[in-house]
Amino acid sequence: MTISEVIVKMIDFSEGNEHDIAHFLRVWGYAKIIGECSGLDEKEERIVELSAIVHDIACPKLRPIYGCAPGDKQEEMGKEMVNEFFA
């Protein structure tokens, strides 16, 4: 998938939650700038950008359970969700 395709997929995944969409787009923008300015190679830059896009992938599933998205739970649930997202 291209970065643009991943962004579109993540927007769909976010089910219209404008806060989540704006957040991951903002984080992606920062990550892209940092990656470009850090002299990363193309593969490393892609990893940084993709990570930024999906970094909060578990939040929508955790909020109904916990009322928030605890970091430790994000790590637990997020790994599997990211694998499924990119499958």
Summarised one tens digit per residue, pLDDT across range 32-49 is 999 999 999 999 999 999
pTM over 0.95: no
Please state, rounded to an integer, the average pLDDT across all residues of the chain.
95
Mean pLDDT of 82-87: 95
Domain that holds residue 73: 3-85
Tokens at 63, concatenated: 């909020």
Buried b (16+ CB within 10 A) or exposed e, 10-38: bbebbeeeeebbeebeebbeebbeebeee
Number of independent structural domains in the chain: 1
